[in-house]
Amino acid sequence: SFHTELKLRDTGVGKSSIVWRFVEDSFDPNINPTIGASFMTKTVQYQNELHKFLIWDTAGQERLLSCTAQSSSYSLSVLQETFSTLKNWVRELRQHGPPSIVVAIAGNKCDLTDVREVMERDAKDYADSIHAIFVETSAKNAININELFIEISRRLPSTDASPASGGKGFKLRRQPSEPKRSCC
Ligand SMILES: Nc1nc2c(ncn2[C@@H]2O[C@H](COP(=O)(O)OP(=O)(O)OP(=O)(O)O)[C@@H](O)[C@H]2O)c(=O)[nH]1
């Protein structure tokens, strides 16, 4: 098994609710706005591997991206943004993030069908074009929340496929000998 670090960038469109639903299996319509960052963990079994997600639910700090890039070889970001700003964020992530980063886009609030702003086809086409996972979710109705994280697990390289780790898992943290940077 190995740890998988996710940082969820905030734009006030239901990210905390997704995390809450995933970690606690509950939905709170009066969830408080994220101030700073909250940290949660959840372990997911995918086939015969356990993936422990270390989830940082942040309040949209601009330094997040550089932190993601520095802190791990296989760190992930689940992004949830308005579709128009998502593209800029993904471009930056591809440029500065780890080369093998897994990107997942959650189109949340899919229960609110009558106020839909982005057509599923458009979002899916865009996600395919950047090789990202795309799922429409509803934190409220528990639609596709676990599936989102399972899909991320599925895309992670198998631990057996890592010659450097000897099959014992990936090292996600910098070695102590490397200089520390003040980040996050
Ligand atoms: N109908 C519906 N409402 C949702 C859904 N997900 C979140 N919400 C509501 O949307 C609002 C914002 O949700 P949050 O999870 O706090 O959003 P956030 O992006 O984490 O925002 P901050 O924590 O304030 O940064 C809350 O009132 C939620 O109850 C959903 O899938 N469906």
Q: Which of 153, 9, 121, 124 is nearest to 67 (CA)?
A: 9
Which residues touch 170 (CB under 8 Å, ≥6 apart)? 2, 3, 73, 74, 157, 159, 162
Does ligand 1 have an atom closer than 6 angstroms to the CB of 42? Answer: no
Q: Is the Cβ–Cβ distance between 127 and 133 less than 8 Å?
A: yes
If one compares 163 and 24, the residue with the highest pLDDT of the two is 24
Q: Ligand 1 center to residue 31 CA distance, Å?
A: 7
Q: How confident is the model at residue 170 (pLDDT cuts 50, 70, 90)?
A: very low
ipTM, two decimals, is 0.94
Q: How confident is the model at residue 84 (pLDDT cuts 50, 70, 90)?
A: low
Which atom belonging to ligand 1 lies closest to the Cα atom of 138?
A: 31
Does ligand 1 have an atom closer than 6 angstroms to the CB of 29? Answer: yes
If one compares 125 and 69, the residue with the highest pLDDT of the two is 125
pTM reported for the whole predicted model = 0.75
Does ligand 1 have an atom closer than 6 angstroms to the CB of 58? Answer: no
Does ligand 1 have an atom closer than 6 angstroms to the CB of 13? Answer: yes
Q: What is the DSSP string of 134-184?
A: EEE-BTTTTBSHHHHHHHHHHHSPPGGG-TTTTTS----S--TTSPP----
Output the pLDDT for position 157. Answer: 72
- What distance in Å separates the CA atoms of residue 172 and residue 3, rounded to the nearest whole number? 7
